[in-house]
Structure 1
């Protein structure tokens, strides 16, 4: 069995359910609590591993929040009134399933972490060594969960004990302070390194700390600041950085870099897929998945990006919003075709070639197409077993480069960016001679297509609205694509797919507002009011 270290815990602590689609509303309440007394080291490890259950259930859902709510992605998951299309059109409501699910499951992870910290800490039957590392893992996972909650929802309640019901929203700074506390305390007792990235290590804690300080250092909008622009179609004017926090981001990135345990994999395309998952030296921390029939929920990132494989007449659940992203990219960059796949051969049809291009369709997110073993291109979309990459070494490099560049130290950031580019091009011929902050931001876009970074980046840089409004420059924003059966600007007959693309591009342009710097505080999974007030501005 794959990755046994977690499977026992999940079988004991998680109700296993299978799903046939990404919009998995039937998995409500799948996380089950553990025993009241921790009687052995094995039980302590199992209790902490139970935290992974809720985190497994949001691996795919992150795609629909963090990718779809940007200019570069559209979701045609199900009918137009389904959750994916709602997020894609910037029509998210407190009852929209994806924010509901993500909010709920992250708090389930927090609650399970609290339970583990308290019970393991109180046990007299657990060895001191196991107690230290188990509590450290629980704090790491709690800090990670809150790092998502504060970025997605802003001020959120800090729930740090079991048996408590906290409705009061803590300030942004208080939440980040707790995240840093959890992660630094975890780092102190985690192992220096683990060859399996599914197990938290000092490297993982330091990498997440670097990410956290980068986000915090950009001074996230407060509730009051967001209220100023909630209904505005302009980005905020509160654009400044905290150099002290950016220095901390560099400090923690350096701990990862100077540890000597991590490096860029020489072949970018070998970072993804079932045969390449959770491997050193680039993967630092990953969320394990064994598929729908085994873990709390399989990772549908593959299924959603290549839902109907080579059937070009059906709409994938999630995909690129235009072909411009591919066409404007330097063809010498090996990341281009793997990120926006425009051609693929089907091994089940004697390698018949298919083009994913207008006027028939749009490119596919290539990282969601598993090409790591024989016929995996057709197999992985049904098994949903590929581990989710939470953080990899390239992100640590870009975190450091951005923190330096934002602090005016572009000269120090330049060789870091070129290190990433050298891997992408396979040589030094495309190294930059000088660097701007915009160059760093572009490199984020090139490196992390469909890796759940884009919305976070745009929010951090406070460029979300302006960036989303660039959809007006996309080919299929043109009014000639409004109606299926008409003649498009490119001379083709407009099919139903591109009429939907037109609708989503216009909805993005018309609907995006300042309120979209956060998602709404949602209802509970059964539609109940959670009693957390005030609601985020504009919702």
Structure 2
């Protein structure tokens, strides 16, 4: 899709109110039509308003133009949420390959870093499209009244999502709503509102969406009322509003969502919209879209190599993450950060999540080998696996750009259970927290395990059990819930943001780097600065473009 933008303010507006983005459908390029070429009566026709709404959904995947570099603004946040945590390395063909992400991994990000600019631009494109579609919807006289109310709720949900992402990544952000009329209206200070006021605005969008959206949607991909409530719970969790988070998760857990029986099955494209998936970015391939840009374009560099995949080799699991899956004789986490050996017991989710030498990879009837790993000497032998689609699947594209149709799950039910467990701990309900964590672990225990190639036995010593001893210490309970979140959600782009909101980013990453630097020399110069590296810098180009000088750079940059 093309983007027309004002060159001085492109990082936030990409044209703002100077054009309307329209498209034939969700899987076609969106055509941009200037106001000068289309009469207002045409623009507010029902079919054109619907196209504007679809265009708001279409940038959920981080793809905002006709290039293939959505990996610099990925919906999955693999670089923003995993590579900068203790879960992953950048990977690729050495430190010079996508060097700006290497600098992010070293906590040496700058206001001119391309990915920082690109992510900002993609998210504000979502904000802008939400606002423009709202205005057209309001102005449309022919829209069915009931459907109009629902579509407005969808747009508020989407705007809430885009602003949530901006808040968790950049913290101090400009806030622009549907009253914006000109490009200049989008050139706003990022300190106009306090953090609390920004969160309140995000909450208001999700609350408004919840009050209107239906319990179910005929068209997959559109949010439900409980999806809005789940997202509202997420805003509460990020603010430490534990009673509100507890109450919100109560409602979500009382609905139709739930855990799938099998952990591996969650990450199959054919189960993309199962009962476990509360809201997701919808991907598709072989749908007529040029270059399969409706596929997982932001994650295309994760291809693990070997005989079936391109060897881009990015998003590589850390040794620390692999070690986190080790268990003892009772099936409980060990957490000694000693490298896993062939004889060690491990959580069965390890070999669903990570490609390890000696373990079969997907259903390809092949053993993963360390030779698959690009730049083995730098980044080690491990590969992503959980969100890689089998090369045998019709949902995987075997040619460039090597994408798949596995949706990106923004919120899934297991995460809601773990938020609820966090809230329960903070409210003093330690036994409830234990029960919730045990639900997640029990599902893992009862799932199908990775087998040897001949199917005669488990591929490793899988051993996982529930916590059967009463939880009586708050800090221990808190640590165990956080650990379960890491294990369950590994490689899904959440880890770094969780460390930040828990207030343990500095201590966790320092401990990680102390050991990991002895394993991976590319991390030698990595250093996390408290009070700085929890958030990304405001793009310098945006600061320079706001002529009244009211944009304040984040601390330390």
TM-score (norm 1): 0.78
Q: Residue 243 of structure 2: SS of its match in structure 1?
A: helix
Cα-Cα RMSD? 3.2
Q: Residue 109 of structure 1: SS of its match in structure 2?
A: helix
* 1:263 to 1:312, Cα distance in 2 relative to 1, 3 A: closer
1:248 to 234, 241, 244: 244
How far apart are the structure 2 equivalents of 1:296 and 1:376? 13
Uncovered stretches (5+) of structure 2, i.e. residues with no partner? 1-21, 63-72, 328-344, 448-463, 472-476
1:303 to 297, 300, 303: 300
Match for residue 280 of structure 2? 286
Match for residue 57 of structure 2? 52
2:78 to 53, 57, 63: 63
1:391 to 390, 411, 414: 411
Say whether 1:438 aligns with 2:454: no
Match for residue 185 of structure 1? 208
TM-score (norm 2): 0.75
How far apart are the structure 1 equivalents of 2:148 and 2:395? 41
Match for residue 443 of structure 2? 423
Uncovered stretches (5+) of structure 1, i.e. residues with no partner? 1-5, 16-30, 218-244, 482-500
Say whether 1:407 aligns with 2:427: yes
Q: How does 1:7-406 map to 2 (within 5 A)?
A: 8-10=24-26, 14=30, 36-37=40-41, 38-57=43-62, 58-60=73-75, 62-77=77-92, 79-80=96-97, 82-160=99-177, 161-163=179-181, 164-169=185-190, 170-194=193-217, 197-217=220-240, 245-259=241-255, 261-277=256-272, 279-291=273-285, 293=290, 298-300=295-297, 302-310=299-307, 316-322=313-319, 325-326=322-323, 328-330=325-327, 331=345, 333-343=347-357, 345=360, 351-356=365-370, 361-371=380-390, 373-374=392-393, 379=398, 382-406=402-426
How far apart are the structure 1 equivalents of 2:30 and 2:99? 27
Match for residue 457 of structure 2? none
Note if contact 1:67-1:455 (Cα within 8 Å) is conserved in structure 2: yes
Note if contact 1:404-1:412 (Cα within 8 Å) is conserved in structure 2: yes
Q: How far is 1:450 from its partner?
A: 1.0
Match for residue 239 of structure 1? none
Note if contact 1:273-1:369 (Cα within 8 Å) is conserved in structure 2: no
How far apart are the structure 2 equivalents of 1:32 and 1:317? 37
Q: Residue 439 of structure 2: SS of its match in structure 1?
A: helix
Q: How far is 1:75 from its partner?
A: 0.7
Comparing 441-450 with 148-157, greater Cα deviation is found at 148-157
Q: Residue 231 of structure 2: SS of its match in structure 1?
A: helix
Match for residue 465 of structure 1? 506
Q: Residue 53 of structure 2: SS of its match in structure 1?
A: helix
Note if contact 1:347-1:375 (Cα within 8 Å) is conserved in structure 2: no
How far apart are the structure 2 equivalents of 1:63 and 1:290? 19
Q: Residue 90 of structure 1: SS of its match in structure 2?
A: coil
Q: Residue 255 of structure 1: SS of its match in structure 2?
A: helix
Q: How far is 1:477 from its partner?
A: 2.5
Note if contact 1:41-1:130 (Cα within 8 Å) is conserved in structure 2: no
Note if contact 1:50-1:112 (Cα within 8 Å) is conserved in structure 2: yes
* 1:312 to 1:172, Cα distance in 2 relative to 1, 3 A: same
How far apart are the structure 2 equivalents of 1:142 and 1:327? 36
* 1:118 to 1:311, Cα distance in 2 relative to 1, 3 A: closer
* 1:346 to 1:387, Cα distance in 2 relative to 1, 3 A: closer
How far apart are the structure 2 equivalents of 1:394 and 1:320? 21
Instruction: Name the structure where helix makes up a greater proportion of residues.
Output: 1
Match for residue 230 of structure 1? none
* 1:415 to 1:450, Cα distance in 2 relative to 1, 3 A: same
- Residue by residue over 1:369-405, the C-alpha shift from the partner in whole angstroms, topping out at 9 and shown as x without a partner, is 2138548778397134322111111111111111111
Match for residue 497 of structure 1? none
Comparing 6-15 with 337-346, greater Cα deviation is found at 6-15
Q: How far is 1:289 from its partner?
A: 1.9
- Residue by residue over 1:464-492, the C-alpha shift from the partner in whole angstroms, topping out at 9 and shown as x without a partner, is 11111123454x622xx6xxxxxxxxxxx
Comparing 397-406 with 72-81, greater Cα deviation is found at 72-81
How far apart are the structure 2 equivalents of 1:444 and 1:287? 21
Note if contact 1:196-1:280 (Cα within 8 Å) is conserved in structure 2: no
Q: How does 1:470-485 map to 2 (within 5 A)?
A: 470-472=511-513, 474=515, 477-478=517-518
